[in-house]
Structure 1
Amino acid sequence: MKKIFITLLLPCCSLVAVAQTGKKASPVKKATVTKTQASGPAKPVFKNNLDSASYALGSNMAGSMKKDGLTSLNYDLMIRGMKDALEGKTLLISKEESQTPISNLFNALSKKKFLPMINEGKAFLENNKNQPGVHVTPSGLQYIVLQEGTGIKPKATDTVLAHYKGTLLNGKQFDSSYDRNEPLSLPLNRVIQGWTEGIQLMSTGSKYRFFIPYQLAYGERGAGADIPPYSTLIFEVELLKVNGK
């Protein structure tokens, strides 16, 4: 979707000197450029509601995409794709195939936009892994054992009862079951990958602090208004109970 620029070609006018019989040709007067002409093309005239709606659709779609960082497209191919779809022609890229280039485009734009946050997370984790007591798993998950329990360890298919607190790298807290005074019951195979992996390391009664790279957290999408895309997260988790499947 892209902003569609409508350019109106204005007819060019020239002044022609007309020779009169037996008289000198009158001098050609210079064309006077009005203020309106100098300022650019005239505003297009919408002849009906379809014209207005067509322009509005283009500008609204472009405005939405611009918020995501998209400022340029191949306009010819975009219009070709719209016409082919509306006219029922065979598409050059199928609907299923089209999702890949669209996702790649917006992921690249998002990554560029949030590059400072990505670099901040990488730098933090690189420094943090060398701190006393920090363990690192092959996936890149980092953790510190704050308190070691003595109970059983859960499996990925288990549901557990846990207290937790989550913060961003800047210390801003985005969630806490402690504040609600209500632990959370959750299936380990339906949470972020960092939790699925990390909580399986814990024995019941343990309390760990996890440092979770964005790839093991909410990735390039983030979560709601409080967790931006590409956020490295810090969680303190207390495993209270393993409930089984």
Structure 2
Amino acid sequence: MKKVVILSGVAALFLGACTSTGGGSLKSTEDSLAYAMGLDMGSYIQNMDTMLDANLNLAVIAKAMQDVAKSDTSVMSKEAAYNFMREYYTVVKPRKDSIASAEFIAEAEKGSNVKKTASGLLYEIVEMGDESVKPDSASTVRVLYKMTDRKGKDLQNTYDSKDTANITLKGVIPGWAEGMQLVGKGGKIKLWLPSELAYGKQGRGQMIPANSALYYEVDLIDVIPADSATK
């Protein structure tokens, strides 16, 4: 919580260095507008800090904002900043995520009940279910599931709402499709997907960066054969 408060005040640090409003009081409409803008920028920085998985130095951020206000490009020009950010997003961060994801998968593999397929998928069968009713690659499955990132943050979770989802295995990421064929109707399975069996180098927007390993828990409620699903 302390970090949230500090991040929300980044712009206030900048404003305080440039124009004093007397102990932080808002004496005019312009002061209120400036403070509101500061809160907005602070929220943006907070989100970026989380998304980039970086411990951003707030003093450096405030200094950069002051330099922009003074048109001072002695530390970094706008063009240099753009090139640096492009390099960070396309090369540096994907490499960091790749290493961290590999470490996550390696740690998961140490689990006593965890097994590994030829593709590299890790899985643990919590409950096998009805082995006579298993999905194949063309089936549609009705499931409850949650998906988390390597840090355990929920990215999707239908357990909370109890809303089942019908998902056709032909249209999903390889690791998930493979994993669902390992358990029968009524079963439950845990899956650890290396990035190449998930969203790979492309990722999925801001929610799932490139080279991200994923973890799933899935309850297989029902199996709908391909010929039944199309009727």
For the aligned pair, the TM-score class normalised by the smaller chain equals: 0.5 to 0.7
TM-align CA RMSD: 2.3
Amino acid paired to 1:117: D
Of residues 98, 101, 104, the one that matches 1:121 is 101
| Structure 2: distance between partners of 1:191 and 1:160 | 11
| Structure 2: distance between partners of 1:242 and 1:209 | 18
List, as ranges, runs of 4+ consecutive aligned residues in structure 1 with deviation greater than 4 Å.
62-67
Between Structure 1 and Structure 2, which shows a larger proportion of helix residues? 2
| Structure 2: distance between partners of 1:192 and 1:154 | 15
Structure 2: runs of 5+ lacking an equivalent: 1-77, 227-231
Q: Give me the identity figure in percent.
A: 32
**1:102-143 deviation line (CA, Å, top 9, x unaligned):** xxxxxxx73443222211111222232122000000110001
1:204 matches 2:222: no
> May I ask how many residue pairs the two structures share in their alignment?
148
Distance of aligned partners of 1:163 and 1:65 in 2 relative to their CA distance in 1, 3 Å threshold: farther
SS in 2 for 1:186: strand
| Structure 2: distance between partners of 1:226 and 1:243 | 30
| Structure 2: distance between partners of 1:230 and 1:65 | 22
Match of 2:162 in 1: 181
| Structure 2: distance between partners of 1:64 and 1:185 | 43
Q: Which has the larger radius of gyration?
A: 1
Match of 2:123 in 1: 143
Amino acid paired to 2:99: N
Give TM-score, length-normalised by structure 2.
0.59
Amino acid paired to 1:119: I
Displacement of 1:63: 8.6
Match of 1:102 in 2: none
Distance of aligned partners of 1:63 and 1:111 in 2 relative to their CA distance in 1, 3 Å threshold: closer
Give TM-score, length-normalised by structure 1.
0.55
Q: Report if the CA contact (8 A) 1:149-1:202 is conserved.
A: yes
**1:205-226 deviation line (CA, Å, top 9, x unaligned):** 1101100000000111221322
